[in-house]
Amino acid sequence: MDRITELSILYEISTLPFHVQDLDSIVSVALEKSTRLLANDIGIFYIVDSPGIYISYSSVGIPQDFINPLKIHTLSPDDDDNIFNNEIRGYKKKDMDDLMLNLIKDPYKPENAVILPLRTEDGLTAILYLARLNETEYTEVDMHFFQVLANRLSIDLENYFLWKKKDRALKQLEEERNKLEVLNKELSRKNREIECINERLKMSSRTDPLTGIYNRRVLFEYLEDAVEKNRLEIDRTKMMKKRGSNILPVRRKNDKGQFQNYYKQFSVALIDIDYFKYINDFHGHLAGDDVLRTIGVLLKDESILRLSDIPGRYGGEEFLIIFPDTRCYESINSLKRFYEGLNNQKFKGRNNQRFKITVSIGMSDFEPEDTEAVHVIDRADKALYHAKHNGRNRVSIHDDGTNYYELEFG
């Protein structure tokens, strides 16, 4: 081989294209260059299958059926040492042991062969087996070319396996990201469920289950808060008057109609269903429940009460309405609308018997002397008693403790 040919071979090997992401291309180039440039009849690219076992990945000059696996651990100590020290060694047929002879089946038994161990960071990753069927022995120049080729292929394999590791890591990261996204979605769904459950629990703790309006506890919370804030405003006004100021009481509004933002006068109406015990006894408790539910629906009707008004079930057959920023006489129209809606209802009792109901109502205003919610409730209760004592089906407004103003329905 002349010097020009040697340089040409070296040039072709040194300018091999890099195929970082394609093992097939690396193997294809390795087999093509090693057989064409270096005059080999057979080329086999072995790749690790399991520790010590290398199987044929691809080959030229010989069908795959005529190739046996390469078992490193069965080599003689000298061969094993050579391979794992990254040394390239040529074999003549007469010097081949049983393993080398049995790598290839007849009629492809070689006269000369060489093994190129290809090492990466992970160790011996692949082996390039080259063979000549003729008696042309490998020269020192050939072995030099093989070493150059092995170094270059090792670099390609190293880059390929690094890319594979990176690709696996990215895919694993993407899988973990997808799992995290699924978990986040599931967590969000669970949080929404918890929020819904909490909202239902909150509503159930604040509303009467039968009528769907506020329960007694919530009504007293509103009343106590209103009384406290009104007391503070009254005390503040008195203090300012003592100092000679004509400042007016503060009045704050909220579009949502939340009661705690009203710092002025309010009134209450206590409603009691007339002859409710008779309804339960004669028409049945299911009919009685229907009456209670219907009143709850009417008290939630925005065409009857304002958004700022606060209705609730006070207990049993009694209901309470809080009218913020309103005196009793200003709330009568709302009660008239409630009565008209109730008067249009016909209930069904036992044996489909139809019946109607009436209610008695006692009303009272908040007074500056009131220091507790029970004070205004107590006056409304007295007014309710007065309405029932004087014929039921009417509104009685507590005036000054001895006088009551009455409005009869119907």
In a domain, 185, yes or no: no
**If you count them, how many residues does the chain have?**
410
Picking from 99, 132, 167, the residue at the C-terminal end of a domain is 167
CB atoms within 10 A of CB 360: 24
* Helix or strand holding residue 382 (H, E): helix 373-389
Under-50 pLDDT residues of the chain: 74-84, 248-263
Which tokens hold the place of 103?
Answer: 């790598």
* Residues 10 and 145 both lie in one domain: yes
User: Do 157 and 96 reside in the same domain of the chain?
Assistant: yes
Whether 48 and 120 map to the same domain: the answer is yes
Residue 332 lies in a domain: yes
Whole-number Å distance between alpha carbons of 215 and 213 = 7
Map 212-231 to HEC letters.
Answer: CCECHHHHHHHHHHHHHHHH
* Domain membership flag for residue 182: no
Cβ atoms of 67 and 104 within 8 Å: the answer is: yes
Report yes or no: 116 and 128 within 8 Å, Cβ to Cβ. Answer: yes
Q: Which residues are 271's β-sheet partners?
A: 319, 361
* Structural tokens at position 185: 């979605």
Residue 284 lies in a domain: yes
Query: Which range of residues forms the domain containing residue 383?
Result: 216-408
Give the tokens for residue 394: 């009417």
Residue 214 DSSP class: B
Contacts of 201 (CB under 8 A, 6+ apart): none
Same domain, 136 and 223: no
Residue 181 in any domain: the answer is no
Q: Where are the beta strands (DSSP E) in 205-286?
A: 266-273
Longest dimension (CA), the chain: 135
Whether 210 is in a domain gets the answer no
Q: Are residues 19 and 112 in the same domain?
A: yes
Contact 26, 158 (CB under 8 A): no
The pLDDT of residue 242 is 74
Tokens of 402: 């001895």
The closest alpha carbon to 309, from 326, 293, 292, belongs to: 326
Q: Scan for tokens 């089946």, then name that residue.
A: 105
pLDDT (0 to 100) of residue 58: 87
φ/ψ of residue 146, rounded to 5: -60, -40
Task: With respect to residue 302, please indicate whether it lies within any of the assigned structural domains.
Answer: yes
Q: Are residues 22 and 163 in the same domain?
A: yes
Question: Which long-range contacts (C-beta less than 8 Å, at least 24 apart) are formed by 368-373?
Answer: 368/234, 370/227, 370/230, 370/231, 371/227, 371/231, 372/224, 372/227, 373/220, 373/223, 373/224, 373/226, 373/227
Residue with the two structure tokens 């009104």: 230
Statement to judge: residues 26 and 163 lie in one domain: yes
Cis omega (within 30 of 0) for bond into 107: yes
pLDDT attached to residue 23: 81
Q: Is residue 211 part of a domain?
A: no
pTM: 0.55
Domain tally for the chain?
A: 2
Cβ-based neighbours of 1, under 8 Å, separated by 6 or more: 139, 141
Range 69-73, long-range pairs (CB < 8 A, 24+ positions): 70/46, 70/103, 70/127, 70/129, 71/99, 72/124
Cβ–Cβ < 8 Å for 141, 148: no
Pairwise CA distance, residues 53 & 361, whole Å: 97
**One domain for residues 326 and 244:** yes
What is the C-alpha separation between 49 and 58, in angstroms, rounded? 13
